Amino acid sequence: MPEPKKLIGEDGRRLDGRRWDELRPISLEVGVLKNADGSAYINWGKNKIMAAVYGPKEVHPKHQVLPDRALLRTRYHMAPFSVDERKNPAPSRREIEISKVIREALVPAVLVEDYPRTAIEVWVEVLQSDGGSRVAGITAASLALADAGINMRDLVVGCSCGIIDSTVVADLDDTEDKEGSGDMPVAIMPNLNQVTLLQVDGIYTRENFQKAFELAIAKGREVYSMQRDALAKRFFSGEPQPMEESA
Amino acid sequence: MPMVQRKQVIPGDVIATGNHRYGSYIEKRGDEYVALRIGLAEVGPDGVKLNPLTGPYLPRAEDQVIGKVVDINGFGWVVDINSCFDGFLPASFVFGREFSPATHDLSSKFKVGDVIGARIESFDRSRDPQLSIRGEGYGKFPEGEIIKMSPTKVPRLIGRRGAMVNFISERTGCDVKVGQNGVVVIVGPPEGMAKATAVVKMIDQGTHGADLMGKVEEYLGGSSVAGA
């Protein structure tokens, strides 16, 4: 086996200069697509992801109709130009699986029972990909759902953690994801304090698992405050409104 | 004057705690009232309310809507009411009890493509909304400009007891018909229609504060006496 690449330097900094618990730069924007009912765009490290929500709308084909709730359709897709080597645009095994886990991460937050016999479509399009694109996709998709005015119990926010050079670190980028020895994407509903996505690969000790899990949640809450700011910017002109008095 | 507290909220935010009456788009968890939408929440003597800033139109009984006939079948008209559910206007509501598919021609009353005003007679989770045109001001709109706006902004366009929409009609000389589903039909002289259309679009697009009436007044020009 080849000698594993050194991912943390002598000074304790990672390849891109971050400390172990530092996030990559993140920016979020809500309401970027005119024709979608709700949309959001996220820049997370080198990830550039667009999320769009359409619906609630009629379900086609009709046999998929759920009589008591909405059908939440999710598609995670990577553009052919999103990676160094052209990616075949047909949905791969990985994309189909990520579509499924994103759907299952979002469903607990959406009040699907409020929209019986309808479909709500969530499209997550990765325009440029880096590590942690599923959690970035979930973060953007939940903003797009809120922008579309779908009833939601809470926003959903994701963050990944992992192990590189036997150390637990936050927010792996592409190299760390590939060269490192463990990746743990986590999505949470921050107000409800519930986990909606938890995937793990690699080998963890109990201590490392606990540490990575708690770090992912803490960092997810940091991203949540950015989500709030993005919504405030779109809907409340960025500034909180003063309390008013009226009859 | 009792105090009304206002708050900007996003889904998951706690609006108030304790014991209150509460309206749509709010969920009660324990003794917390949680917002389900992005909007402006109010806590006052009437309880906890949330006015959403975005969202689709969901039909409710007694709503006045404007829709377009998209299909005719033997028993009535299928009407697009700008929602995920199509409205259905039964022929017996139009022709009366003696309606029979053999003797009555449905397209003599409304054709596919006609724009009609209607009231939502009934709607529940299991059936599509049923429409009725019984009453004043319903039925076919033979002419006019159709504008679609966000259904969440419709209350701003209507104003307190119709103050805003009456003011716009008066100033532009147009008849402005507003459906609660976010469809607006404007009929009148061309220059008035252009003005009224622009005002409706302005109300739809901006996030306006307290003095929307002032802004509209300024936009339409002239003295401020006529409105109110």
Q: Residue B187: give its domain's CATH number.
A: 3.30.1370.10
pLDDT at A243 over 80: no
Q: Residue B121 domain-assigned? A: yes
Identify the bridge partners of residue B47 per DSSP, sorted by sequence position: B44
Q: Residue B228 domain-assigned? A: no
Do residues B103 and B134 both lie within one domain?
yes
Contact yes or no for B19/B45 (Cβ under 8 A): no
The rounded distance, in Å, linking the Cα atoms of A105 and B178 is 39
* Confidence at residue B1, expressed as pLDDT on a 0 to 100 scale: 54
* Confidence at residue B212, expressed as pLDDT on a 0 to 100 scale: 81
Which residues does chain B have within 8 Å of residue A155's beta carbon, measured at their own beta carbons? 10-12
Domain extent, residue B124, equals: 64-140
From B126, which residue of chain A is nearest by alpha-carbon distance? A67
Which residues does chain A have within 8 Å of residue B1's beta carbon, measured at their own beta carbons? 245-247
pLDDT at A128 over 50: yes
* CB–CB contact A235 B27 (8 Å): no
Which residues does chain A have within 8 Å of residue B53's beta carbon, measured at their own beta carbons? 149, 235
* Confidence at residue B219, expressed as pLDDT on a 0 to 100 scale: 81
pLDDT at A240 over 60: no
pLDDT at A16 over 90: yes
Both tokens of B163, joined, read: 């103050």
CB atoms within 10 A of CB B113: 8
* Confidence at residue A210, expressed as pLDDT on a 0 to 100 scale: 97
Do residues B109 and B45 both lie within one domain?
no
Q: Does A17 touch chain B (CB under 8 A)?
A: no
Both tokens of B67, joined, read: 């829709």
Q: Does A11 touch chain B (CB under 8 A)?
A: no
Please give, rounded to a whole number of angstroms, the shortest distance from the CA of B53 to a CA of chain A: 7
Of A151, A237, A245, the CB nearest to B36: A151
Three-state secondary structure string covering B19-60: CCCECCCEEEECCEEEECCCEEEEEECCEEEEEECCCCCCCC
Residues 6+ apart with CB under 8 A from A133: A47, A49, A78, A126
* Confidence at residue B2, expressed as pLDDT on a 0 to 100 scale: 65
Q: Is B156 helix (H, G, I), strand (E, B) or coil?
A: helix
Q: What is the pLDDT of residues A28-53, one digit of tens each?
A: 999 999 999 999 999 999 999 999 99
What is the set of domains in chain A, with CATH numbers?
26-235 (3.30.230.70)
Contact yes or no for B89/B79 (Cβ under 8 A): yes
pLDDT at A228 over 90: yes
Do residues B188 and B214 both lie within one domain?
yes
The rounded distance, in Å, linking the Cα atoms of B4 and B208 is 19
Q: Is A72 helix (H, G, I), strand (E, B) or coil?
A: strand
The rounded distance, in Å, linking the Cα atoms of B186 and B143 is 8
Domain boundary among B140, B174, B189: B140
Which residues does chain A have within 8 Å of residue B152's beta carbon, measured at their own beta carbons? 149
pLDDT at A142 over 60: yes
Q: How far apart are the two ends of chain B, measured CA to CA in Å? A: 22
* Confidence at residue B102, expressed as pLDDT on a 0 to 100 scale: 87
- Closest listed residue to residue A69, CA positions, set A140, A29, A120: A120
* CB–CB contact A154 B11 (8 Å): yes
The rounded distance, in Å, linking the Cα atoms of A185 and A139 is 12
* Confidence at residue A1, expressed as pLDDT on a 0 to 100 scale: 54
Domain boundary among B108, B123, B140: B140
pLDDT at A246 over 90: no
Contact yes or no for A71/A118 (Cβ under 8 A): yes
Both tokens of B179, joined, read: 């459906």
Contact yes or no for B120/B131 (Cβ under 8 A): yes
Q: Is A77 helix (H, G, I), strand (E, B) or coil?
A: strand
Both tokens of A199, joined, read: 């995937």
Both tokens of B133, joined, read: 């045109």
Q: Residue B57 domain-assigned? A: no
ipTM of the complex: 0.89
Percentage of chain A beyond pLDDT 90 is 91
Write out the DSSP string of A153-193: SS--EEEEEEEETTEEEES--HHHHHHSSEEEEEEEETTTT
Both tokens of B146, joined, read: 């159709």
* CB–CB contact B6 A241 (8 Å): yes
* CB–CB contact B12 A116 (8 Å): no
Do residues B172 and B109 both lie within one domain?
no
Q: Residue B125: give its domain's CATH number.
A: 2.40.50.140
**Domain count within chain B:** 3
Both tokens of A215, joined, read: 């770090």
Of B52, B84, B126, the CB nearest to A149: B52
Q: Which helix (DSSP H) or strand (DSSP E) does residue B116 occupy?
A: strand B115-124
Task: Give the pairing of strands A71-78 and A118-128.
Answer: parallel
Query: With a cut of 70, which residues of chain B have pLDDT below it?
Result: 1-2, 207-210, 222-228
Torsion angle in degrees (nearest 10) through CA of B108, B114, B117, B123:
90
* CB–CB contact A146 B4 (8 Å): no
Contact yes or no for A55/A121 (Cβ under 8 A): yes
Do residues B134 and B193 both lie within one domain?
no
Please give, rounded to a whole number of angstroms, the shortest distance from the CA of A97 to a CA of chain B: 27
State residue B189 phi and psi, 5-degree precision: -65, 150
Angle, helices B163-172/B212-220, rounded to nearest 10 degrees: 0
